[in-house]
Amino acid sequence: MRKRSIALNRFGYGLRWRDGARGATDPEAALLAQIDRFDPAPPGLAGRADTSGKAGEILELLRRNRMMRERAPAGAQTGAMMAGERMADTARGPLADLPPDIRRSYMDAGRVLRRDIALKVNTAVVSDTPFIERLVHFWSNHFSVSAAKPGTQHQVGNHEFAAIRPRVLGRFSDLLKAAVLHPAMLLYLDQFQSVGPHSRFQQRARRGAGRERGLNENLAREILELHTLGVEGGYTQGDVTEFARALTGWTIAGIRRIERFADPQPGGAAFVAFAHEPGTRRIMGRSYPQTGPEQALAVLDDLAAHPATARHVATKLARHFAGDAPPTSLVARLEADFLATGGDLASLTRTLVASPEAWTESPAKYRAPFEWLVAVLRLTGVENLDDKRIAGALRELGQVPWRAPSPAGYDDLAASWAGPDALVRRVELAERVARNVPAGDVMARAEAAFPGALSDNTRSWLARAESGTQALGLLLVAPEMMRR
Amino acid sequence: MTHGFDRRSMLTGSLALSAASLALPRMAFARGPGSRNLLFVLLRGAADGLAMLAPVGDPGFAALRERALPDYAAARRANGFFAIHPALDAVGAAYERGEALFVHATATAYRDRSHFDGQNLIETGGTRPYGLKDGWLNRLVALTGEAAGAPPRALAIAPTMPLALRGPAPASSYAPSALPQASGDFMDRVAQLYAADEQLAGLWAQAMETRAMAGASEVKNLRDATAAGELAASLMREEDGARIAMIELGGWDSHANQPGQFTRAARQLDALLGAYAAAMGSAWGQTLVLVATEFGRTARFNGTNGTDHGTAGAAIALGGAVAGRRVVADWPGLGEAALYEGRDLAPTIALESVLAGAVAEHFGLDPKAALARLFPGRTAQPLGGIVHG
């Protein structure tokens, strides 16, 4: 692959055809220029309605429904969640049994979610800073949240657009704090209902004034394992529990029972002091005497600066750009940069661009479904596909945003995406897309999309196609399109 | 223990078989999958085991669910004590032929009540949600592959790879796509375009093989259960078909109006299993189907004639390879004191022991090693005697 092709495809989301064949003479400089030009709130996103208060609203509805049915298992809540999940597929069935206000609320949540998915895709499709858009997608997947839990449908879009997007070129510690203390994450990993065992809340519950709740370690564990140190990062179960205690009190706004005690936090979260575990915490050999919400923030700052975190982040970033088994020299260089700058992500990005390992001639990665679809839409000029079609296409391709099967996010490995059936689906979708767009200049488009890197094989099969439409369809699934 | 019901008598009688009494002698060495087939059917949404296999012989059942009794008046009995839900007609018939058994009061290690976490656990085989990143079926593919020298062909009959089959071992997925089929000419040209590319040519060839196995199926989606069952069989019955496959069935989350909803879902399951069994033909004799769900439901009906999320439920083992016509249960009873947290059927058999024991026997693996690999961190013994030796 020639350098211009690598800059377009490996770092970016492929050629946007309306830009034509003009390409930068210095691909490295063009990538670095995107760092300065990146707009965290482009017009499409700036117009998005704020839905940050909606999570509590849904939880309240579910609670009321539960109480109406006398019993108090968590069942009602997750039951409706399952119905909400399926709603996208079947408009009627599963929701039919729910009370009308909850049904309406879920229909509304489903619409917000579909609109946010389309916003995410279309933002990447029209972007003229596609390299930074890729970083947004990378970090969003690093801090993966799933729309499958009640209340999150309104929040997962917020999480990426408001918490992650503006910080991908800032400091890792700020990105970390914003991403893991956002309502979407607090809901997804159960933090919102975690209560300190010696908190006033719990003492009151023990006296019989309310339902007793306990500590939930889910978020603490995943921050250590997935978001910062990594699974081999040297933390113990004791660190997990202590960190979970430090996190108690961090919850979401809009839960009626605690609303009047909740202090609003930046990003839409809330802090309830009387659910916070009192006292000094000891984590990874350090003491945290802070009180209130600052205790968790201080822990997060230290985790962000930990050498294991530098290694973990460097490895994942190198894997995303330089191959499933990333070169150790690149990992080491990124790690050193992270440590030297205290986690300056713009510096990390510059170091990546300057690294020869990221510019290897042969393709480094198999494109995941999301990035393949974005590349197809850019190359064919389909810039405003409607919400339902986008959600449908991503479902058929097997990678719906904010729907990863675990908090680890979607795999960044060819083994997960290079499947036989998945390939046929791309072929089917490609033929359909090609039939619905003007199909002139396919050969010129191919040369422009992969400057200096188009194979003779692809060129000759495009030339032999019996129509422009067929040639365009073939281009969309050519080996050059499947990898970057 | 109410009304003279004695749990011990269940244990010693012919009806219930404890894990120990079922255990087979350990096999000397693994024999690999050979021509044996395994279909894992995951019922998403927590299927109600007490509706599936109703313990009508337990006086507690009538006390908890008197309204449901008429549904089972003419139902097939299993060992006198249980009644098979009438919607499970093909399963019931297989039971009477000795090709199906039920395991009751079984649950995974999960003791909370979130579908989300419960499904993560039954798919990864871990002891806590998100503790493992790959699936137990994927590890089974690797394990049988080690025994046989090459991994068996594994397939998810689903639009995307379910977590249970994700992981480093090779597995494919296939589902009728909602996308319009590409034209034959276009497909031919794609094949030619890929001929020079080793990876894509390989994937393409595999995809075409799977499609050929699926036949000229007119299945538009997997919601037609009969068609889905036939499709599964067409992908598994041939010599070069998939040996290990998984299919999912939703619609079990019956918080309201359960009798109607359960009947609809059970009919779907029954249609799928019946069609699958018929279409497997002679391969049925070498087949094991395991049907399981993430957890059971509350023992009592709630205020909307439904059930909420519970703990223990029922599982089904079905197939020509199954030593059937039995209910395996260490029955905990349904008296107030016997219920888990005062509301659910109490788990007495670890579902992981059932799954690991059954697949180990079926594929000739060492049961203990299989349990340790597929469901690490367990103390229960693998259950034996589910599959004919």
Tell me the pLDDT tens digit for each residue of A108-144. 888 999 999 999 999 999 999 999 999 999 999 999 9
User: Would the CB atoms of A405 and B166 count as touching at under 8 Å?
Assistant: yes
Of residues B112, B130, B175, nearest to A407 (C-beta): B130
Please say if the pLDDT value at position B303 is more than 80. no
Q: How far does B206 lie from chain A, in Å, by closest CA?
A: 6
Please say if the pLDDT value at position A91 is more than 70. no
Give the mean model confidence (pLDDT) for residues A388-397.
93
Comparing A34-43, A424-433, B26-35, B233-242, the range with the smallest average pLDDT is B26-35
B-chain CB neighbours of A73 within 8 Å are: 113, 298, 308-309, 343
Give the mean model confidence (pLDDT) for residues B108-126.
90
- Residue A28's pLDDT is 95
For chain B, say whether A406 makes contact (Cβ under 8 Å): yes
Q: How far does B303 lie from chain A, in Å, by closest CA?
A: 5
How high is the mean pLDDT of chain A?
89
Of residues B114, B197, B250, nearest to A74 (C-beta): B114
User: Would the CB atoms of B298 and A477 count as touching at under 8 Å?
Assistant: no
CA A406 to chain centre: 12
Contact A403, A147 (CB under 8 A): yes
Comparing A209-213, A242-246, A323-327, B324-328, the range with the smallest average pLDDT is A209-213
Report which secondary-structure segment, H or E, holds B196: none
Give the mean model confidence (pLDDT) for residues B155-161.
82
**Which one of A70, A82, A92, A462 makes the best mutation probe of the B interface by having the most chain B beta carbons within 10 Å?**
A82
User: Would the CB atoms of B204 and A478 count as touching at under 8 Å?
Assistant: no
Give the mean model confidence (pLDDT) for residues A282-295.
97
DSSP annotation of A209 = I
Least Cα distance to A131 among A177, A159, A169 occurs for A169
A-chain CB neighbours of B250 within 8 Å are: 86
User: Would the CB atoms of B189 and A470 count as touching at under 8 Å?
Assistant: yes
d(CA B44, CA B295): 9
What percentage of chain B exceeds 90 in pLDDT?
A: 67
Least Cα distance to A248 among A312, A175, A176, A199 occurs for A199
Give the mean model confidence (pLDDT) for residues A452-478.
95
User: Would the CB atoms of B177 and A74 count as touching at under 8 Å?
Assistant: no
d(CA A429, CA A390): 12
What percentage of chain B exceeds 70 in pLDDT?
A: 89
pLDDT band at B174 (very low <50, low <70, confident <90, very high): confident
pLDDT band at A405 (very low <50, low <70, confident <90, very high): confident
For B87, other C-beta atoms within 10 Å of its C-beta total 22
How high is the mean pLDDT of chain B?
87
**Which one of B137, B188, B190, B344 makes the best mutation probe of the A interface by having the most chain A beta carbons within 10 Å?**
B190
- Residue A1's pLDDT is 64
User: Would the CB atoms of A461 and B116 count as touching at under 8 Å?
Assistant: no
State ipTM.
0.89
**Rounded to two decimals, what is the model's pTM?**
0.78
User: Would the CB atoms of B193 and A83 count as touching at under 8 Å?
Assistant: no
The DSSP bridge pattern shows strands B37-43 and B326-328 to be unpaired
Per the model's pLDDT, the better-predicted residue between A110 and B108 turns out to be B108
pLDDT band at A77 (very low <50, low <70, confident <90, very high): very low
Give the mean model confidence (pLDDT) for residues B293-303.
92
Please say if the pLDDT value at position A90 is more than 60. no
Look at phi and psi of residue A284 and say left if phi exceeds 0, alpha if psi is from -120 to 50, else beta: left
- The nearest alpha carbon in chain B to A76 belongs to B308
User: Would the CB atoms of B166 and A425 count as touching at under 8 Å?
Assistant: no
Least Cα distance to B121 among B311, B342, B317, B367 occurs for B311
In one-letter notation, the amino acid at residue A174 is D
In one-letter notation, the amino acid at residue B108 is T
Instruction: State the sign of the Cα–Cα–Cα–Cα dihedral A428, A430, A431, A437.
Output: positive
Contact A179, A300 (CB under 8 A): no
Comparing A86-90, A169-173, A399-403, B244-248, the range with the smallest average pLDDT is A86-90
- The nearest alpha carbon in chain B to A430 belongs to B182
Q: How far does B142 lie from chain A, in Å, by closest CA?
A: 15
pLDDT band at A277 (very low <50, low <70, confident <90, very high): very high
User: Would the CB atoms of B308 and A420 count as touching at under 8 Å?
Assistant: no
- DSSP code string of A326-348: --HHHHHHHHHHHHHHTSBHHHH
Give the mean model confidence (pLDDT) for residues B341-349.
95
Please say if the pLDDT value at position B33 is more than 70. no
- B-proximal residues of A, 323-342, CB under 8 Å: none
Q: How many residues does chain B have?
A: 389
For chain B, say whether A456 makes contact (Cβ under 8 Å): no
**Which one of A59, A78, A459 makes the best mutation probe of the B interface by having the most chain B beta carbons within 10 Å?**
A78
B-chain CB neighbours of A83 within 8 Å are: 253
Contact B106, B315 (CB under 8 A): yes
A-chain CB neighbours of B197 within 8 Å are: 457, 479
User: Would the CB atoms of B211 and A424 count as touching at under 8 Å?
Assistant: yes
The DSSP bridge pattern shows strands B313-318 and A262-264 to be unpaired
Please list, residue by residue across B258-295, b when 16 or more beta carbons sit within 10 angstroms of its beta carbon and e when fewer do.
bbebbbebbbbbbbbbbbbbebbeebbebbbbbbbbbb
- The nearest alpha carbon in chain A to B119 belongs to A405
Tell me the pLDDT tens digit for each residue of A328-345. 999 999 999 999 999 999
Give the mean model confidence (pLDDT) for residues B23-46.
68
- The nearest alpha carbon in chain B to A469 belongs to B186
User: Would the CB atoms of B172 and A419 count as touching at under 8 Å?
Assistant: yes
Instruction: State the sign of the Cα–Cα–Cα–Cα dihedral B211, B216, B217, B221.
Output: positive
List of E strands, A239-320: 250-252, 262-264, 269-272, 281-283, 286-288
Please say if the pLDDT value at position B179 is more than 60. yes
**Which one of A98, A424, A457, A460 makes the best mutation probe of the B interface by having the most chain B beta carbons within 10 Å?**
A424
